[in-house]
Structures are given as C-alpha cells and as structure tokens.
Amino acid sequence: MRRPFLRVATFTVVFLAVYCYVVVALSNIAGEKARVEKEKAAFIGGAVEATPEAGENIFWGKGACHTCHSIGGRGSAIRGPNLGESGPLGLPIGARAMKRAEERTKQTGKTYSPTDYLVESLMEPDVYLVEGFSKLMPVAWRPPIALRPDAIRAVITYLQSTGGSADLASIDQSPFFSQLQALASSGKAQGSAAAAPKLLVSGEAEAGRELFFNADSPAACAKCHRVGDKGGNVGPELTNIAAAQPLEYLIESILEPNKVIVKGFEPVMVQMKGGQLLTGVIKKESSEMIEIGDSQGQTQKIAKGEIVERVPQKTSLMPGNFSDILTVKDFHDLLAYLQTLK
C-alpha cells in the first residue's frame, strides 16, 4: 500500500515544482516584456511614464533634441543653446528656467513659472529666442518629431532634473501644458503634416547619397557637412537632421542658405597684412591663432599677428545657386537622401 502512495506523493511534489517553475518563468518573461515595452514606448512616443529617465531616453532618441542641443559636455550640437551649466547664464536648464520665467513674466505681463517656460519652449519655440540664436527649433508635437503629450511631459521632467528637481504636479497645473494637450489632440498635428510641400518628382535616395558624398558632383555637400563619421565640419552636422526638421526646412536650407545661418557657423572675412582676404567659418581660436574653414571644406591656420581686421559676414558659405546648378532630378534625389537621415 505504501508504494502507490509514495508514487502519488512523488508525482505531486514534482508536478508542483514544475508548475511553480513555469509560473515564475512566465512572470519573469512578462516582467521583462513589460520593461522592454516601457523602454520602447519612450522612443516611439507612445504611453510614457513621466520620469526623468524616460525623458532622457526621448531627449537623446526619438525627440531628436540632441540634434540641436548639448547638455554640458554630452553631445556636440550647437544649433541651440547648451542646456548644461556651460550654456547661457552659466546655469543648467532646470535652474535657468527660473531666470527665463522671470524674463517672460516681464515681457508678457503674465505670470510664468519655470515649468511654464519649459512647456512653452517645446510648444511654441519661436516666441522667445535666446540671444544669438535663430528660429530653428521645431515644434515638438508636430511632425517630424510628433511627440505626444505624455512623452513631452517626460522630457520636461528630465529638463527640470537637470540642475533642479522633477515636478510632475507643476507640469499638470501649467496652463501651457493644457493648451499643448488641446492642440495635440485637435488634429492640427496631422493637419500640419498634410500641409507639407508636395514634391512633383519622386527622388532616389541612393542617387542623392552619391550627390552628397561625391566631391565631383554638383552638390558635393560632404566637403562641408558631416553625416555620421563621414564628411567635413565646416558646416553643421546633418546626421539626424530629418528627425528634427521638416521637409520645408530642408528645401529652404538648400535653395535659400542665407535665410537662416546656424549659430556657430557664421562666416567672417579676414584681411591679412599682405592684403589677402579669406572668408570662412572660425573653427578654433586661441590667443595666438585662429583656424578658418572655407567653402571648399579646407581649413587654414592663421597667426593672429598676421591679421589686420576680421569682419562678420551675412552671406552663408553654402552656395546660393543650387537652383541653377542642380537638375530637377538632382534636387529631388538629394532631398530623398536627406529625408533618410533620422
């Protein structure tokens, strides 16, 4: 009689052990899946937890904020202000927002909180420009970035924590965030995408890539612009340009390069003692020497003792005659390639 009982008992113990193992394994898998989905959401703009960690992922990922901004020594973008303590006012953005809020309050006569300033900067970046910078920042909730309000909330907590403390309650209480939520849910974001320029010719990205990198092509963009680890550094880096800027910006930058000159790439004309004139972008400068990059992507080192005068220029180094030297096909091929840079 004991053997059947022992067999049943042994089977029961083994069954329970296997059952518990499977349950734990499935729980771990589910937990890992939830973690992966949560991290994935931070990159694609889906449901995102409002934490500085999620906001950091978006800032350096899907949000493409890093295309224009650096934070302290992290990143190399200079289109927009550095958001660390090496930026304007010598304060990281979490602390700097307090000063900016005071400025906005004086300018508008409306009371701004630091959070109001941060939200407004993402919602309507052109209404307040930091001195020396141009209207380049895209609207975060519109294409091509198209962040949803929950993702924007997460980014704001990250900015708040950079030199300050994350304050979710202040975001939800901000009238600017309420406006942003209304705008984002009104269909205007989709409408702005529909209003984008319609190209009459379908470009070929691979042909555009050849135009970009071939030094003998009519475009030869890589003489001055870098994509990834390839190209020059006389002009702005374009590695992720399509992730942050809409098609209209790309078209304007090619056909009207003088309309907006990115900060840090303003050209100067240098007159030397021998009467020579050199126009270019100052890439490096010390107490004894400057290094200038010219329109051909070449750099020259000039001793300051040889310089008589240097004068800022309002004309970009980028050629302004691309509408003449590029065929219709070339132009659309180049645009097709630039739109892949995300």
CATH number for the domain including 303?
2.30.30.100
- At residue 292, the 3 state secondary structure works out as strand
What is the number of structural domains in the chain?
A: 3
The mean per-residue pLDDT over the stretch 114-123 comes to 96
pLDDT at residue 3 tops 90: no
Give yes or no: residues 71 and 141 share one domain: yes
User: DSSP string spanning 310-338?
Assistant: EEE-SS-SS-S-HHHHS-HHHHHHHHHHH
Distance of alpha carbon 294 from alpha carbon 257, whole angstroms: 15
Pick from 168-182, 185-199, 219-233: least confident:
185-199
pTM above 0.85, yes or no: no
Query: Which pLDDT score is estimated for 37?
Result: 46
Alpha helices in 135-185 (DSSP H): 149-161, 168-173, 175-185
Sign of CA dihedral 118, 120, 126, 128: negative
pLDDT at residue 339 tops 80: yes
Please report which confidence band the pLDDT of residue 189 belongs to, taking 50, 70 and 90 as the band edges.
low
Q: Assess if residue 166 is contained within a domain.
A: yes
Q: pLDDT tens for residues 287-313?
A: 999 999 988 888 899 999 999 999 999
pLDDT at residue 274 tops 90: no
For residue 299, is it left (φ>0), alpha (ψ between -120 and 50) or beta?
Answer: beta
Please report which confidence band the pLDDT of residue 188 belongs to, taking 50, 70 and 90 as the band edges.
low
Q: Assess if residue 223 is contained within a domain.
A: yes
Give yes or no: residues 136 and 215 share one domain: no
Pick from 85-99, 106-120, 128-142, 152-166: least confident:
128-142
Query: Cβ distance 261 to 134 under 8 Å?
Result: yes
pLDDT at residue 98 tops 80: yes
Give yes or no: residues 122 and 255 share one domain: no
pLDDT at residue 27 tops 70: no
Distance set, CA 76 to CA 68, 71, 236, 308 (Å): 9, 9, 11, 32
Nearest residue to 78 via CA among 90, 66, 94: 66
Query: Which pLDDT score is estimated for 72?
Result: 93
Angle at 34 between CA 184 and CA 119, to 5 degrees: 25
Q: Assess if residue 277 is contained within a domain.
A: yes
Query: Which pLDDT score is estimated for 33?
Result: 47
Rg (Cα) of the chain, in Å, rounded?
27
Beta carbons within 8 Å of 2's beta carbon, 6+ residues apart: none
Residue type, position 40, single letter: K
Domain that residue 272 falls in: 267-312
Query: Which pLDDT score is estimated for 184?
Result: 77
Q: Assess if residue 43 is contained within a domain.
A: no
Query: Which pLDDT score is estimated for 77?
Result: 87
Query: Which pLDDT score is estimated for 301?
Result: 92
Query: Which pLDDT score is estimated for 297?
Result: 86
59 sits in which H/E element: helix 52-59
pLDDT at residue 42 tops 70: no
Give yes or no: residues 188 and 244 share one domain: no
User: Of the segments 95-99, 198-202, 292-296, which one has the largest average pLDDT value?
Assistant: 95-99
Q: Assess if residue 31 is contained within a domain.
A: no
Give yes or no: residues 176 and 220 share one domain: no
User: Of the segments 21-25, 28-32, 54-58, which one has the largest average pLDDT value?
Assistant: 54-58
Query: Which pLDDT score is estimated for 195?
Result: 56
Query: Which pLDDT score is estimated for 83?
Result: 97
**How, if at all, do strands 277-285 and 307-312 pair?**
unpaired
Nearest residue to 70 via CA among 54, 59, 55, 58: 59
Give yes or no: residues 139 and 226 share one domain: no
Give yes or no: residues 73 and 170 share one domain: yes
Query: Which pLDDT score is estimated for 185?
Result: 75
Q: Assess if residue 44 is contained within a domain.
A: no
pLDDT at residue 126 tops 70: yes
Distance of alpha carbon 236 from alpha carbon 234, whole angstroms: 7
Beta carbons within 8 Å of 13's beta carbon, 6+ residues apart: none
Give yes or no: residues 154 and 180 share one domain: yes
Query: Which pLDDT score is estimated for 6?
Result: 40
From the number of C-beta atoms within 10 Å of its C-beta (0-12, 13-18, 19+), residue 152 rates as buried
Return the beta strands (E) in the chain as ranges: 226-227, 230-231, 267-272, 277-285, 289-293, 299-303, 307-312
Query: Cβ distance 257 to 325 under 8 Å?
Result: no
